[in-house]
C-alpha cells in the first residue's frame, strides 16, 4: 500500500500548510467583524427608532394637552378623519387624481385650516414660549417692563382702596382655576387691572390669573384656606390668596379693600404690609425676573 494509505490507516492526516491556516483565521476574523458590524447597525437602527418614537410621542402628547379641551378639537378630529378616509380609498383603489389632490391641495389646506381654527391657542402658546428667559434678553426686558406696570397698577389699586387678587402662574398649571372664571387672554396694563377690580364692573368679585405677561382669566374662584389666621381681621380675599398658594406653587398678590394694604402669599404663607418697591423685589425673586440697571420709581 502507498504511504498515503498508511497515513489514513493510522488515523493521521497531513496538517494544512501555513498559508492555508492563515487564510482560515483571516476568514474567521472577517466573519466576526462583519457580524459585529451587523449587530451595531441593528442596535443603531433600533436606538434611532426608539428616539424617533419618543420625540413623536412627546410632540403629539403636547399637542393633545394643548388642544383636547378646546372648541376646535372636534373640528380637527373631523378633518383628520376625512383626510385619512380619502387617503385609504385612494391607496386601495388606485385613485391617482384624488391622490394628487390630497397631496398637493388638501394637505396644505388642512394645515392652513388648523392654524386658523387654533389661532387663539397658538397665540397663547407662542406668547408663553417667547416670554421664557431661555430665548433672549429681550424677553427679560419685556418681563421687567411688565413687572413695573404691574406694581404701578397695584399702587393705584391700593391708593384708591380697590380690593384686588392676582395669582401668577408658575410651573403648576392653573387651567382649572381659569375655567372657573371669565377667560380674557389680554396683555396686562394698569388701566385694564383698574377696570377689572372697579366695584362697578362684573369681574371685580374674584381673582385674576396671570400667565407670563398676560391676564389669562378674571373673576376666578380661588380656594379658601381653612387654617387659622394670626390676624382675625383678615377677610375672605386674604384667605383665598393663602388658599390658592397652598394648593399651587403660584404667587398671589392681595390688595385690601378696607385698608389698601398690599400682601403677598406664597407656599401658604402671607407677607403683609408691603410697599410697591418691596413687592417688586419679592416678585423679581419669586418669578426669576432680572431687574433693570436703573430702579424705576413706582408712582
pLDDT at 182 > cutoff 90: yes
Residue 220, pLDDT score: 95
pLDDT score, position 217: 94
pLDDT at 273 over 60: yes
Q: What is the DSSP track for the chain? A: --HHHHHHHTT--PPPPHHHHHHHHHHHHHHHHHHHHHHHHHHHHHHHHHHHHHHHHHHHHHHHHHHTTSTTHHHHHHHHHHHHHHHHHHHHTT-HHHHHHIIIIIHHHHHHHHHHHTHHHHHHHHHHHHTSTTT-HHHHHHHHHHHHHHHHHHHHHHHTT--EEEEE--SS--HHHHHTSEEEEEE--HHHHHHHTSTTSTTSSSEEEEETTEEEEEEE-PPPP-SPPS-TT--HHHHHHHHHHHHSS-EEEEE-TTT--EEEEETTEEEEEE-HHHHHHHHHHHTT-PPPSSPPPP-
Q: Could you tell me the CATH number of the domain that includes residue 210?
A: 3.40.1700.10
- Residue 77 falls within a domain, yes or no? no
Mean pLDDT score, 98-124: 77
Is residue 97, in this structure, part of any structural domain at all? no
Is residue 282 a part of any domain in this protein?
yes
pTM of the model: 0.55
In a domain, 171, yes or no: yes
Q: What is the mean pLDDT of residues 198-224?
A: 92
Q: Report pLDDT for 270.
A: 92
User: What total of structural domains would you count in the chain?
Assistant: 1
Sorted by sequence, the CB contacts under 8 Å of residue 13 that are 6+ apart come out as 7
Chain-centre distance for alpha carbon 155: 32
Positive or negative torsion for Cα 194, 195, 196, 198: positive
| Assigned domain for 5 exists | no
Question: Looking at the domain assignment, is residue 125 inside a domain?
Answer: no
Range among 50-59, 80-89, 250-259 rated most confident: 250-259
77/66: higher pLDDT: 77
Taking residues 287-299, what's their average pLDDT? Answer: 57
123 lies in a domain?
Answer: no
Q: Domain for residue 139, yes or no?
A: yes
Range of the domain at 239: 133-286
Amino acid at each position: 500500500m502507498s504511504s498515503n494509505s498508511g497515513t489514513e490507516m493510522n488515523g493521521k492526516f497531513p496538517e494544512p500548510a501555513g498559508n492555508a491556516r492563515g487564510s482560515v483565521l483571516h476568514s474567521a476574523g472577517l466573519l466576526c467583524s462583519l457580524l459585529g458590524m451587523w449587530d451595531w447597525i441593528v442596535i443603531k437602527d433600533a436606538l434611532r427608532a426608539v428616539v424617533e418614537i419618543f420625540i413623536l410621542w412627546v410632540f403629539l402628547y403636547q399637542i393633545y394637552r394643548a388642544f383636547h379641551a378646546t372648541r376646535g378639537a372636534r373640528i380637527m378630529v373631523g378633518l383628520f378623519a376625512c383626510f385619512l378616509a380619502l387617503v385609504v380609498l385612494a391607496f386601495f383603489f388606485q385613485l391617482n387624481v384624488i391622490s394628487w389632490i390630497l397631496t398637493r391641495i388638501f394637505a396644505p389646506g388642512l394645515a392652513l385650516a388648523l392654524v386658523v381654527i387654533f389661532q387663539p391657542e397658538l397665540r397663547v402658546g407662542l406668547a408663553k414660549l417667547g416670554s421664557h428667559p431661555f430665548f433672549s434678553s429681550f424677553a427679560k426686558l419685556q418681563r421687567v417692563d411688565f413687572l413695573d406696570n404691574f406694581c404701578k397698577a397695584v399702587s393705584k389699586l391700593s391708593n384708591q382702596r380697590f380690593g384686588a387678587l392676582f395669582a401668577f402662574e408658575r410651573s403648576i398649571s392653573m387651567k382649572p382655576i381659569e375655567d372657573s372664571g371669565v377667560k380674557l387672554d389680554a396683555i396686562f396694563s394698569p388701566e385694564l387691572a383698574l377696570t377689572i377690580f372697579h366695584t362697578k364692573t362684573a369681574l371685580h368679585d374674584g381673582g385674576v390669573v396671570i400667565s407670563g405677561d398676560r391676564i389669562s382669566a378674571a373673576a376666578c374662584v380661588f380656594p379658601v384656606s381653612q387654617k387659622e389666621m394670626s390676624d382675625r381681621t383678615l377677610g375672605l380675599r386674604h384667605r383665598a390668596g393663602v388658599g390658592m398658594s397652598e394648593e399651587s406653587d403660584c404667587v398671589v398678590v392681595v390688595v385690601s379693600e378696607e385698608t389698601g394694604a398690599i400682601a403677598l402669599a406664597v407656599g401658604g404663607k402671607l407677607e403683609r404690609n408691603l410697599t410697591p418697591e418691596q413687592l417688586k423685589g419679592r416678585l423679581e425673586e419669586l418669578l426669576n425676573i432680572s431687574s433693570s440697571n436703573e430702579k424705576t420709581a413706582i408712582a
